[in-house]
Structure 1
């Protein structure tokens, strides 16, 4: 199906500028995000997938057949109006779920990444218990779009400034593209190794041995200074990255529910586009069906008077919160300052099951 041909095309062009994407590596002058309260309100719409049985007005004027004798004992009994069974109940996603994680690697994200990885096993266990044949794709998208550090160029053994950096390791073409699935996170506190994915693709698929270890590898983004999770999400779902032969080939399936998990401890003010653009991108990725998408955003809640991160109001828009509000009712906003994210994932698991039950593939 055609997807994301407008905003994503612009973003991909910028991401691929120069071929190596290193323009975005050292934008570390921003150590804190503008703080503020969201002034937007969500326009929540509830869609239903069940259809009401209707009676035809013409039935009031119709008469029964007179071809049989009224007193005949062999006459076919009048069963009245037989309801049209149609094609049966909606097929649902049947356990097919495409999970897209977009994780900031800002220097302040180390402990938040640890909380995410600690919450993941319980999340997966819940989904596996809900679906008899849980068929998943799990992709962690590249927020940085670069490979390497200038101080490590030419190193053969150990990089003096970054000892854990994989000296002498050559990147694959997709390692340097924003939005592409990460299979070799690099930098401080990152995996710094090629993750072993049984699929041979840039995302985890059902049947992956030691799924938890594989997820820990692709989700250990480190603290190399990259963020912009909303923009990266748009890029990851674009046709250019999901097309045959592209980096994320086959990740998005027409008959699967799309679940996006975006984690960043700022308002994400520098992602290209507006919160509405991001909302439209998610819906377009599923052929215009907003009910085929579930969104979980875990971010700072300093715009809330009783937030866990402490109240620091100003006039800046919390674009990630607005994004979540626009995706209601199939969205959840969680505080990144929570001690763990298990409760958020438990709630989202219920949302996934509910939406999967009514999902009709386009």
Structure 2
């Protein structure tokens, strides 16, 4: 795999998480963000043991003392507002010698929490995506064929059609002239794990995104990929307050949804590596199943080859002040990431800028791609 990133300078707009909402729509206080931290999951079993912290949607990030690496932000002289993350001229951390045939295709799955506290987190993801995809193109220069799909953390959310006249209806479904209540949604638009192309509700795009190719996932041929991703990834905050991102992930890669007549038909490919990015800030355990079962679903989707998968989790980090109320405080998601060994990477969902996290993720993706042996 070529690593000609010496001239790459990724520009990412730093976003400040000034406030957010808890899942019932009430404002939650936000604390000042601290230096970004990213952790690569250890190879041994871990539970992501954490301690409780006050509810917050802005936070801190570093993580467990493992093989963490952070990008260095250097101020741009032509744009003092937007920092540039210089990754040119340095090893991103991946091996320089792959033992596999290498990958030519990558399937990217973004699992985005669409509950009431996620407005700023979705904005941070959208802001960091241009730099992330540029780094992918530069570092994985032999990969020209990729799919990009977004799913959210529930099925219908608060704005089920027809909308019910209650407080949720007014608060979460009324923007854009009640588009969430009047939109012509298809069955796939309200199926858990189906690719999102028509976000509705508060803080969402509130329109059907124009996805090139007519699928529920994006292609590199999209004439305006960044705008399409921004439309699709703005899933909004009208989702159900009981977040189930892991179940959304399981459904997204399921045989049923990836069948020729399924909502996600064509997304998942045997000869591509699968990169799953999870963004959620709720510390509760509301997904059905266990971390081991969630992993088994993904491995089965890749025909038993767990080395063909990268898991990148932007999740609560209660030991760093990035958490909320709840018994588990996100430890179940940390356990899931950790179960992938050096194919798993986790960072704080509370960070205002996800560029350093995605920069580290590129290294893991690169090494996974180098060592991939596509089925014959």
Q: Calculate the TM-score normalised by the size of structure 1.
A: 0.70
1:286 touches 1:292 (CA, 8 Å); kept in 2?
yes
The structural deviation recorded for 1:265 is 0.4
Q: For residues 220 and 100 of structure 1, what CA distance do their matches in structure 2 show?
A: 15
Q: For residues 233 and 175 of structure 1, what CA distance do their matches in structure 2 show?
A: 15
The structural deviation recorded for 1:309 is 2.2
Q: Which residue of 2 aligns with 1:275?
A: 291
Q: For residues 101 and 317 of structure 1, what CA distance do their matches in structure 2 show?
A: 18
Number of equivalenced pairs: 279
Alignment of 1:64-75 (within 5 A): none
Q: For residues 327 and 162 of structure 2, what CA distance do their matches in structure 1 show?
A: 38
Q: For residues 301 and 281 of structure 1, what CA distance do their matches in structure 2 show?
A: 25
Q: Which residue of 1 aligns with 2:249?
A: 233
The structural deviation recorded for 1:132 is 3.5
| Greater Rg by CA | 1
User: Helix, strand or coil: the match of 2:222?
Assistant: coil
Q: Which residue of 2 aligns with 1:200?
A: 214
1:274–1:30 distance in 2 versus 1, CA, 3 Å: farther
Superposed CA RMSD in Å reads 3.0
Q: Which residue of 1 aligns with 2:304?
A: 288
The structural deviation recorded for 1:91 is 2.4
Out of 194, 197, 203, which is 1:183 matched to? Answer: 197
Is residue 262 of structure 2 the alignment partner of residue 262 of structure 1?
no
Out of 106, 113, 128, which is 1:119 matched to? Answer: 128
- List alignment gaps of at least 5 residues for structure 2: 1-22, 28-40, 46-98
- List alignment gaps of at least 5 residues for structure 1: 1-27, 33-40, 46-88
1:138 touches 1:204 (CA, 8 Å); kept in 2?
yes
1:186 touches 1:192 (CA, 8 Å); kept in 2?
yes
Tell which deviates more after alignment, 236-245 or 315-324.
315-324
Q: Which residue of 2 aligns with 1:328?
A: 341
Q: Which residue of 2 aligns with 1:134?
A: 144
1:163–1:110 distance in 2 versus 1, CA, 3 Å: closer
Is residue 237 of structure 2 the alignment partner of residue 223 of structure 1?
yes
Is residue 54 of structure 2 the alignment partner of residue 44 of structure 1?
no
Q: For residues 312 and 273 of structure 1, what CA distance do their matches in structure 2 show?
A: 21
1:42 touches 1:322 (CA, 8 Å); kept in 2?
no
2:195 touches 2:263 (CA, 8 Å); kept in 1?
yes
User: Helix, strand or coil: the match of 2:341?
Assistant: coil
Q: Which residue of 1 aligns with 2:109?
A: 100
Deviations 1:70-123 (A, max 9, x none): xxxxxxxxxxxxxxxxxxx732212x1100011001111111111111111100
Is residue 268 of structure 2 the alignment partner of residue 252 of structure 1?
yes
Q: For residues 350 and 218 of structure 2, what CA distance do their matches in structure 1 show?
A: 28
Deviations 1:271-317 (A, max 9, x none): 01101111112211111111100000101111x2xx15279896666
User: Helix, strand or coil: the match of 2:345?
Assistant: strand
Q: Which residue of 1 aligns with 2:11?
A: none
Q: Hey, which bits of structure 1, 4+ residues long, moved more than 3 A?
A: 28-32, 41-45, 147-154, 310-317
Q: Which residue of 1 aligns with 2:101?
A: 91
Deviations 1:212-246 (A, max 9, x none): 11101111010013321111101101000000011
Q: For residues 222 and 113 of structure 1, what CA distance do their matches in structure 2 show?
A: 8
Out of 329, 338, 346, which is 2:359 matched to? Answer: 346
1:142 touches 1:177 (CA, 8 Å); kept in 2?
no
Q: Calculate the TM-score normalised by the size of structure 2.
A: 0.68
